[in-house]
Amino acid sequence: MKLKSQIPNAITLLNLFCGCAAIICILDHRFIAAFWFLFAAGWFDFADGLVARLLNVSSEHGKELDSLADMVSFGAVPGMIYYTLLFIGQDAAPASAPDITWSWYAAPGLLVTLFSALRLAKFNLDTRQTENFMGVATPTSTVFATGLMLIYALDPFGWAAWALSPFVLYPAIVAFSYLLISEHPMFSFKIKGMKWEGNETRIIFAVLAIVLLATLQTAAFPFIVGVYLIINLVSPPTASAEA
């Protein structure tokens, strides 16, 4: 087995490590540290495929390993975020959150993890998703959940209570559980060259995302995902990328 062929797999394992570390941080209520581990996991998830293409190495083993890593970083993690936020929301004084134990009130948050597993299993067998996605990709679902976690942890604009509200969390859980396995086409972030034609939707979305980041800063992520979903619902891509 050539060492060169194992470099992308090593990067994939770094993604998996960061996902595991993020779960530990979430359970320990160290949400900022969890964010940075997830940020790193996202970069490693992008880098493994890029490095594989640059080295011209590819294998079914690598693809399966990538899905297993994604199941932790972008499947288990958002479920744990929803579970933890719902659990903390039960406490009368959220600032002094109790240690995490089992709660039926918070358990529905794990639905996102279950539907993420269904999506990843479906994606591995779906030959249609070569250019765009069918349904929401697991990293997109994770960005939304992570955004709620940051809003609670940093309380920008005094919105922390909203991030703990069951009237926000339960609908989000149901919506993303459905969207993860839906057949609705969603555009990917693969840029086709350096021109406007063929990239119109991606460029418009990128501009809107930058505006939201500039104005809302750490509270921007759920709204960015919201804009992404609205654009796809209003004007879905005509053709059907990697999840």
CA distance 233 to 229: 6
Strand bridging mode 133-134 / 185-186? antiparallel
Q: Residues 56, 61, 67, 68: is their CA dihedral positive or negative? A: negative
Look at residue 193 and tell me whether its pLDDT is greater than 70: no
Mean of the per-residue pLDDT values for the chain? 87
How far CA 39 is from CA of 34, 59, 99, in Å, comes to: 9, 26, 25
More confident residue, 193 or 93: 193
Look at residue 68 and tell me whether its pLDDT is greater than 90: yes
Q: pLDDT tens digit string along 92-132?
A: 445 555 677 888 999 999 999 999 999 998 877 766 656 67
Residue 85 has, within 13 A of its CA and on its CB side, a CA count of 32
Q: Look up the CATH number of domain 3-125+142-183.
A: 1.20.120
The ranges assigned to domains in the chain are 3-125+142-183
CA distance 152 to 32: 10
Kindly state the DSSP code that residue 136 receives in the 8-state scheme. Answer: -
pTM of the model: 0.90
